[in-house]
Amino acid sequence: MSLNQADLKKIAHLARINVSEEETKVLEEKLQGIMSLIDQMQNVDTDNVEPMSHAIEVSQPLREDIIKETDIRKDSLPLASEVQDSLFVVPQVIE
C-alpha cells in the first residue's frame, strides 16, 4: 500500500493536525517505510504457528482457592447504629 501527499493531507485534516509541506515529505517517507514493513509481515507464512499470549512460554502458578477469613457480618452488625434486613443503613449521600 502506498500513501501520497493527498492521503497524508487528508489524514492530517482528520486528525486535526497542522502539517507543513516539508513535514508532509518527511512523513511520507516514514510512513512508506512503515507500510513496506507491514507488507513484509503480511507475506510471512504463519499457517503452522500456534497463537500465543506471550513470547516466552511461562505458566502462572496458581494457588488453591481456600476461604481464610470468616464472615464478619454477624460480629459487626451489632456495632452499627442502624440495621435493616441484615444490611447496614447509612445516610443518603446522593440526591
**Residues 77-86 pLDDT 10s:** 999 989 998 8
Strand, coil or helix: what is 13?
A: helix
Q: Is residue 60 part of a domain?
A: no
Domain range for 30 is 5-42
Q: Is residue 13 part of a domain?
A: yes
Q: In which band, very low, low, confident or very high, does the pLDDT at 24 lie, cut at 50, 70 and 90?
A: confident
CATH value at residue 29: 1.10.20
Q: Is residue 84 part of a domain?
A: no
- pLDDT for the residue numbered 38: 92
| pTM, 2 dp | 0.47
Q: What's the CA gap between 6 and 14, in Å, rounded?
A: 12
**Residues 45-70 pLDDT 10s:** 989 988 888 888 888 888 888 888 88
- Counting the structural domains of the chain, the total is 1
